[in-house]
Structure 1
Amino acid sequence: MAAPRTVLLTGAAGGVGTLMRELLPAYGYELRLLDVAPVPDAPQALTADLSDRAALREAVAGTDAILHLAGISLEAPFEEILEANITGTYNLYEAAREAGVRRVVFASSNHAVGYTPWPRPEQGLIPIDTPRRPDTFYGLSKCFGEDLAQLYWDRHGIETVSIRIGSCFPKPFNVRMLAVWMSPEDGARLFHAALSAPDVGHTVVYGSSANTRLVWDLAPARALGYEPEDDSERFAAELVAAEGEFDAESNPDHAYLGGGFVTDPPLWANRHAR
């Protein structure tokens, strides 16, 4: 599959969306922007909610692919997650089906498997087929999105790469992130690979940089053509000095892959918990 030229970027005003607005055009993409909030410095962007089916039909018309980053990216009451992440993702896939769009890249999350225990060194990397164990309603919505993607591939032939993103920020904010961090530049590399790789059907991959402290298997992402170039280890000394070393045995925020999302109550408002 040749790299598509026109890509609908949902969630274009969000954190990852803002980074990708800057980075993805270098790969030859013309981005069409959609968000529930106005996109700064982009008067042509569509401002609409994922519940607005007419707006979604307008947004997807004439596009070659969709990079779906929109939705609530933290834990929230179930009713809010249901509307934004579950019903909203269904509405987007329906619009894609009606418009004949054949490729979606879905921003899933490591929180779809958040109750997976943090692996000990002798256990090796967490495989992509590890059982899903969502840690929150947010994580549950990502499980739904992966299943929806599978259904639309099997029933309608819409290909999807579901990327279980770790933490995509310019730099990691805590020692847990040293394992799951994805630099914005590697994020663009992975999204480009997911948009352009041939014959993906429905493929699920983990999304992070090639970190020294990596805990999950990046082989499925590499099979798409993804070649990460960054490593979080250059930030390690500063973070370890501030927090101490990662300790899955005694720190409850380190016991599971989902980190602070697994605590009770989860860290609903702390974006750095990702």
Structure 2
Amino acid sequence: MSNEHTAGPHSVGRRLIDLVPHIVLIVGVLIFAFPIYVTLIGSTWDAATIGRGSLPMTPGGEAWTNYSQAWSESHGERASYTPVRLMLMNSLIMALSIAVGKIAISILSAYAVAFFRFPLRMVFFWMIFITLMLPVEVRIIPTYKVVADLGMIDSYAGLAIPLIASATATLLFRQFFLTIPDELVEAAKIDGAGPLRFFFDILLPLSKTNIAALFVILFIYGWNQYLWPLLVTNSADMETIVIGITKMIGTGEAANDWNLIMATTVMAMLPPVAVVVFMQRWFIKGLVDSEK
């Protein structure tokens, strides 16, 4: 009996301690999710209700009107905007180009550094690595000058190409390639596999989880770009969704169609969320699984 009495408070205290991380996690999720919920609810009400500052916490009846108007029309009740379908297409092309381009260039450069022996090999690798200390903002003026001289302002090439190089992805692929056993490389040589066959038939299948994880990260990176698209796009036809939302908000509270802004924001969240949900299993496996 004494053992049961002594173990009881101990076990209750342990359960309470185990609950603390879950409580903190739930509170964090609620804090993060509440603005999204308000945006979702606001997208179903009219601009007058939102403008009065008395937005209910239950869905309204204007959802279809708001979303269809934001999707296809270029004007609201108080201002003119770029249609969401056009901005989403621009953002999608930019994000996909950046993600695919970064992965393609990084995996090839990492393959060269990890498996080939050539003069100044490590010098080139460290030159790539040093660019980690040079974000877009630091080199944005010379980059803009080059893009302007090449006539790539207001183009998909101008949006994506300057952001394609990635030292981080190159480093990650190189570190993974260094874990490939030498015996596998030798076996491929004995079987007559040349460099290209070894790369496509062996390395790429082994790297698929790394590629999936990087694709998710790089797609979201490209989707959320703000400063660079702001500089290289002048026409409304080339606006990305992030730039479009910023321009819709503007500076004057009274001139904003908040219902359309919130509908646009909800639609802007859907593609990156879809990518994360669709590739969640590969993403988690690529980050935590040692058996690629």
Quick one: higher RCO (CA 8 Å, sep 6+), 1 or 2?
Answer: 2
| TM band (smaller chain) | under 0.3
Larger Rg: 2
What TM-score does the superposition give when structure 1 sets the normalisation length?
0.21
